[in-house]
């Protein structure tokens, strides 16, 4: 395989274009051009061509990662997940994550601290913030440092302290001795159902449930589900 043309980037920092015979164009970094000593008219052996194609693919994934990370902060786990979802192999994703960390584009510790500040300001306590860490795939080794940084912030530290005091002061009340049917009707009332009591000609009482927005037996299923909680 021969290189038909080797075109420099339109602006510094952008990839070079390697036009191969047959029409294929590879986009590679300047460091790849230098390491392979590429030039127009160069004949590429099969092994060199494969390595060059792999380098071009990696460069493309780096470019995608750069766009993702400039749009919003991500954890290393989130970035790897997004790349593999777009078609990158796990090895390519791992290499891109390492590259992004090396150049400072990806920082799990900084992301954890940003999340801790954001959710503390929203009134979240440590346990709920840890749930967010877990959901966003923040490495566990960064959790405690991020939470400690919030406590050291004068304004956010007061919010966190207030949340803990409120959580400790909260009480739970159990309603004992309430008839099961009363609980059932209370649940249906909270669902917005209309409850009508009707006596049949045979002398039996029926409870008619209506809800204008529930179709296809959904209200019946909800009523049966609630009633089943109290039958045993």
Chunked into runs of 10 residues, the chain (232 residues) has average pLDDT values of 85 83 84 84 88 88 91 94 94 95 93 90 85 92 89 59 50 47 56 59 61 52 55 48
How many whole angstroms separate alpha carbon 74 and alpha carbon 115? 10
Burial class (CB in 10 A: 0-12, 13-18, 19+), 16: buried
Classify domain 3-102 at the CATH class level.
mainly alpha
pLDDT at 176: 46
DSSP 137-177: T--GGGHHHHHHHHHHSHHHHHHHHHHHHHHHH-------S
Q: Measuring CA to CA, how many Å separate 104 from each of 92, 110, 114, 142?
A: 18, 10, 16, 16
Beta strand extents in the chain (DSSP E only)? 3-7, 16-20, 25-28, 194-199, 205-210
Taking the model in full, what pTM does it have?
0.61
Please name which of 117, 131, 15, 12 lies closest in space to residue 73, comparing C-alpha atoms: 117
Residue spans per domain, the chain: 3-102, 108-169, 180-228
Please name which of 159, 170, 91, 147 lies closest in space to residue 123, comparing C-alpha atoms: 159
């Amino acid at each position: 395989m021969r290189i038909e043309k080797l075109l420099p980037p339109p602006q510094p920092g952008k990839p070079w274009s390697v036009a191969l015979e047959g029409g294929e164009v590879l986009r590679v970094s300047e460091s790849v051009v230098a390491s392979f000593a590429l030039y127009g008219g160069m004949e590429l052996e099969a092994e060199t061509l494969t390595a060059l194609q792999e380098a071009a693919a990696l460069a493309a994934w780096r470019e995608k990662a750069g766009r993702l990370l400039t749009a919003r902060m991500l954890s290393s786990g989130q970035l790897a997940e997004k790349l593999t979802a777009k078609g990158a192999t796990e090895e390519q994703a791992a290499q891109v994550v390492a590259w992004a960390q090396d150049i400072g584009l990806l920082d799990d510790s900084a992301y954890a601290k940003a999340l801790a500040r954001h959710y503390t300001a929203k009134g979240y306590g440590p346990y709920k913030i840890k749930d967010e860490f877990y959901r966003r795939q923040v490495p566990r080794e960064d959790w405690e440092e991020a939470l400690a940084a919030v406590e050291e912030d004068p304004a956010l530290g007061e919010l966190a302290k207030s949340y803990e005091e409120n959580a400790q002061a909260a009480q739970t009340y159990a309603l004992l001795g309430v008839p099961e049917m009363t609980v059932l009707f209370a649940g249906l009332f909270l669902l917005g159902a209309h409850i009508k009591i009707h006596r049949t000609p045979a002398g039996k009482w029926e409870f008619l449930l209506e809800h204008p927005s529930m179709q296809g037996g959904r209200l019946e299923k909800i009523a049966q589900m609630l009633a089943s909680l109290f039958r045993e």
